[in-house]
Chains A and B, each alone.
Chain A
């Protein structure tokens, strides 16, 4: 398998788990992303932080769909923040934005997840 080029660090914030994404997200990121999801555990919401994203290809978008299915299975919300204008457009183009709630900042995402300060 091709080596993963992204890291996914998990921090707990009340009922939500925030996943800090850094690097290039591709199909090769599957194992590390799913390990991060396991680490996020039974949180009510998974919040993806794209601030540190360098690049994402179509394989990476496919991984997010798979992650979404897992979240739906556990009745967890999936939210995102820190997306550049370009990747916001990609979310619109692929219509991921219809299922993943997108926010400008971490605090806005956490508020939407019911984990606001």
Chain B
């Protein structure tokens, strides 16, 4: 490789990838965002419990309506607005840039609220990747990308993931997979609608590894499902305790 190419490659490396971190640090967030991510380690598909899945969702838009780079730029800047209703994505103030951490508050069955997050692992002109922390429902990463194909711009979401722990694995089998498929299909439909396109979403789900990693059952200790349930159920008790404290000091 020539010296100039080496410099270019080094610049791409430094700009596009997150710096190495041992534990996550969350920058300033709105009060309503529940932070259960600070201090957690990142986990990839290798650290998960369940079967490994590669899920790919694609929507095609006319190439003369939007280019791949424009699509990714818009997606990155308005990430939350393309999510289905009820799910909150609290992007960092600096936006979706490598190394930044975003918080996620999402509804769970029974009126419970799941509190988790993701770190921006990678970002370039035509893609960006989010990686999960300990305690997330699944361990892995999600890549959002756009490419040109036969004159069209193809928007894609691709997950490489394992359920983080046995509870999440059971949840995925009992409807979690189809819920997730619906989530990303809905996201791509909304994204296409931004340019006035009524897109059909192609979904391809491949089981990359049928083996469950039983030694990872201890991931349960970090489970955001368990901790979010505990936190939500504890809300009335915290409210009563606050009331008692206020009356005691009044």
Q: Which residues of A approach B to under 8 Å, CB–CB?
A: 2, 27, 54-55, 57-59, 62, 65-66, 68-69, 72-73, 86-87, 89-90, 92-96, 98-99
Contact = CB atoms under 8 A, between A and B. Distances in A.
Nearest to A86: B13
B141 A62 contact: yes
Contacts of A54: 1, 5, 9
Given A54-B1, A59-B127, A69-B52, A93 B143 contact: no
A66 B160 CA distance: 9
A45 B5 CA distance: 32
**Residues of B in contact with A, size category:** 35 or more
Contacts of B178: none
B132 to A, nearest CB: 11
Among A65, A66, A87, A93, max chain B CB count under 10 A is at A93
Interface of B: 1, 5, 9-10, 12-14, 16-21, 42-47, 52, 54, 121-122, 124, 127, 129, 131, 141, 143, 145, 147, 158, 160, 208-209, 211
A26 B147 CA distance: 13
Contacts of B145: 27, 59
Nearest to A55: B9
A55 B46 contact: no
Contacts of B127: 57-59
Contacts of B12: 55
A59 B143 contact: yes
Given A96-B46, A98-B46, A58 B141 contact: yes
Contacts of A57: 16, 122, 124, 127
Contacts of A95: 42-44, 46-47
A65 B54 CA distance: 11
A94 B44 contact: yes
Contacts of B17: 86, 90, 93
12 contacts: A57-B124, A62-B143, A65-B46, A65-B52, A72-B211, A86-B13, A87-B13, A89-B20, A93-B42, A95-B42, A95-B46, A99-B46
